[in-house]
Amino acid sequence: MKGKLKSKLSIVLLIIVTIIVLYFALKDDFNDIISNILTINIWWLLVSIFLIFGYWFMKSFVLYQTARHFKKDYRMTQAFRNILLTQFFNGITPFASGGQPFQVYSLKKEGIKITDATNIIIQDFIVYQIALVILGVFAIIANYFCHFYPEVGFLKQLVTLGFIINTVIIIVLFIVAFAKKINYFIAEKAIHFLGKMKLLKDPTNTKEKWKDYITRFHSGAKILMKDKKHFIKLIFMNLIALISLYLIPLTILYGLGDYNSLSGGLTIITSAYVMLIGSFVPIPGGTGGLEYSFLTFYGNFLNGSILKAVMLIWRFITYYLGIVVGAIALNTKEK
Reported as a single tens digit per residue, the pLDDT across 314-331 is 998 998 888 888 888 877
Between CA 162 and CA 179 the distance in angstroms is 25
Long-range contacts of the stretch 108-114 (C-beta < 8 A, 24+): 110/71, 110/74, 110/78, 111/71, 112/67, 112/70, 112/71, 112/74, 113/70
108-112, 192-196, 289-293, range with the lowest pLDDT: 192-196
Residue 122, in any domain of the structure: yes
CA distances from 115 to 71, 107, 111, 121, 212 (A): 13, 11, 12, 10, 10
**Band of pLDDT at residue 193, cut at 50, 70 and 90:** confident
**Band of pLDDT at residue 288, cut at 50, 70 and 90:** low
pTM for the model: 0.81
Is pLDDT of 243 > 90?
Answer: yes
Between CA 174 and CA 160 the distance in angstroms is 22
Is pLDDT of 100 > 50?
Answer: yes
* pLDDT attached to residue 220: 59
Domain count, the chain: 1
How far is the first Cα of the chain from the last one, in angstroms, to the nearest whole number? 30
C-alpha torsion sign, points 184, 190, 193, 194: negative
* pLDDT attached to residue 59: 94
Residue 228, in any domain of the structure: yes
Average pLDDT, the chain: 78
Domain range for 132: 2-330
Residue 89, in any domain of the structure: yes
Residue 215, in any domain of the structure: yes
Between CA 77 and CA 44 the distance in angstroms is 27
Q: Which has more confidence, 163 or 25?
A: 163
* pLDDT attached to residue 334: 54
User: How big is the chain, counted in residues?
Assistant: 335
Between CA 284 and CA 15 the distance in angstroms is 10
Residue 281's contacts (CB-CB under 8 Å, 6 or more residues apart) are 287, 288, 289, 290
Residue 335, in any domain of the structure: no
Residue 41's contacts (CB-CB under 8 Å, 6 or more residues apart) are 254, 255, 256, 257
Between CA 155 and CA 148 the distance in angstroms is 13
Residue 61, in any domain of the structure: yes
Share of residues in the chain with pLDDT > 70 (%): 70
**Band of pLDDT at residue 53, cut at 50, 70 and 90:** very high
